[in-house]
Amino acid sequence: MSKLLVLSLLLAALVLPCIGCAPQPAGTNSSGSSAAPGAKGGDFELLNVSYDPTRELWKELNSEFVASWTKAHGGSLKIKQSHGGSSSQARSVIDGLEADVVTLAMWTDTDAIHKKGLISAGWEERLPHHSLPYRSTIVFVVRKGNPKKIADWPDLVGKGVSVITPNPKTSGNGKLAFLGAWGSVLKSGGDQEAARNFVTELYKRVPVLDTGARGSTTTFAQKGLGDVHLTWENEAHLEVTESNGQLEIVYPKTSILAEPHVAVVDANVDRKKTREVAEEYLKFLYTPEGQKVIAKHHYRPIDDEVLAANRAQFPEITLFPITDLAANWDEAQGKFFAEGGVFDVIYQPAAETPKSDL
């Protein structure tokens, strides 16, 4: 066989698989369908990048929304979830994780994505209640019978108390627990120095800082480390439910108001042609159906009627906003959690216990 014939056959082998192929047209979604968004028969896939302990919430919300969307529009819809420490998740999106929506724990994390040009200006005002479909707070989980008699923030630095909370540098839960502790001093009449002294003593009692909320749950509930766990209200309920009576929830007198915002990632949805479905996905959170699912999973719904109907599972607690501690979230981030901020100054990792050679 001549070299020319061999070369011709090789070229044919490379070209044949593309016979009949056409360039993907503008407007094609991630599945390759050329159906316009919202059109009958369109096939779509979304990625929701969220914070650590929201897996169970979004699993049910996704199921409800997919059924609603496909009934109205036909075609198919798949929603993928990504979970981790809120700040770490924001960094992943900034570094290229192609989120269609972000549902992070902290305003500063969502706004960091905006500052990188991926979310357009004015994102907080696109959805009702400043893009807040629910609120939450930080509560305590203790061992059965509450053997350390922990009732409020000052008890966290009682004799022999060991505290489990995630890292405020990577976790929304961690940041909010820190701020809850700091604010508890100010709300009881203490000054900034007293608050600093309190959190310094508190973090001396933290044997390990997990990167996210679910990791701290594992450390406390499954590994049995610590006397009290500072965690999201929803995570506390899940933790206690799964403990078969071995854990209990304690509500302090006051705690930080947690406001997890939601947002469409504009740069990604415009490139992926998923804007319409992504926007409808987040709007669904404000429907009666969405709000009921939110309440079911122990997040405090924004809808007053749904909240009232579920009032028994949300005990009254004084929740203070971030503006009681700083001018806004940006200032709080810089003061407490930026490099060289208060947390970096006060936190000294516990020294490892020397291992015996015996």
Query: Token pair of 247, please?
Result: 């854990």
What is the Cα–Cα distance from 163 to 347, expressed in whole angstroms? 14
Q: Dihedral sign, CA of 334, 339, 345, 347?
A: positive
Q: Examine the pLDDT at 20 and tell me if it is beyond 90.
A: no
What is the Cα–Cα distance from 43 to 32, expressed in whole angstroms? 8
Q: What is the mean pLDDT of residues 238-255?
A: 98
Q: What is the mean pLDDT of residues 351-356?
A: 43
Q: What is the percent of the chain where pLDDT is above 90? A: 85
CATH class of 43-135+260-313: alpha beta
**What local confidence, expressed as pLDDT, does residue 350 receive?**
61
- Determine the residue type at 347: Y
**What local confidence, expressed as pLDDT, does residue 351 receive?**
56
CATH code of 138-257+317-346, in short, is 3.40.190.10
**What local confidence, expressed as pLDDT, does residue 349 receive?**
79
23 falls in which pLDDT band (50, 70, 90)? very low
pTM value is 0.86
Alpha carbon dihedral 183, 188, 191, 192, in 10-degree steps, equals -10
Q: What is the mean pLDDT of residues 247-272?
A: 98
262 falls in which pLDDT band (50, 70, 90)? very high
Q: Higher confidence at residue 136 or residue 349?
A: 136
- Determine the residue type at 128: P
pLDDT digits (tens, 9 = 90+) for 274-292: 999 999 999 999 999 999 9
Q: Where are the alpha helices (DSSP H) in the chain?
A: 3-15, 55-73, 86-94, 107-115, 128-131, 172-187, 192-203, 213-217, 233-241, 266-272, 275-284, 288-296, 304-309, 329-332, 342-346
Q: Examine the pLDDT at 322 and tell me if it is beyond 50.
A: yes
What is the Cα–Cα distance from 50 to 76, expressed in whole angstroms? 22
Asked if 249 and 139 touch (Cβ cutoff 8 Å), the reply is yes
- Determine the residue type at 140: F
Asked if 61 and 285 touch (Cβ cutoff 8 Å), the reply is yes
Q: What is the mean pLDDT of residues 292-315?
A: 97
pLDDT digits (tens, 9 = 90+) for 85-125: 999 999 999 999 999 999 999 999 999 999 999 999 999 99
pLDDT digits (tens, 9 = 90+) for 161-186: 999 999 999 999 999 999 999 999 99
All CATH 3.40.190.10 domain ranges of the chain, comma separated, are 43-135+260-313, 138-257+317-346
What is the Cα–Cα distance from 321 to 338, expressed in whole angstroms? 20
348 falls in which pLDDT band (50, 70, 90)? confident
CA-to-CA dists, residue 281 to 21, 30, 132, 233, 285, angstroms: 33, 17, 14, 24, 7
CA-to-CA dists, residue 32 to 44, 146, 357, 358, angstroms: 9, 56, 62, 64
Asked if 101 and 265 touch (Cβ cutoff 8 Å), the reply is yes
Q: How many residues in total does the chain contain?
A: 358
260 falls in which pLDDT band (50, 70, 90)? very high
Q: Examine the pLDDT at 251 and tell me if it is beyond 50.
A: yes
Mapped onto helix, strand or coil, the DSSP state of residue 135 is strand
Burial 265-287 (b: 16+ CB within 10 A, else e): bbbbbeebbbbbbbbbbbebbbe
CA-to-CA dists, residue 137 to 29, 86, 159, 316, 322, angstroms: 38, 15, 26, 12, 12
**What local confidence, expressed as pLDDT, does residue 41 receive?**
61
In what side-by-side order are the strands of the sheet with 101-103?
76-84, 43-51, 101-103, 263-264
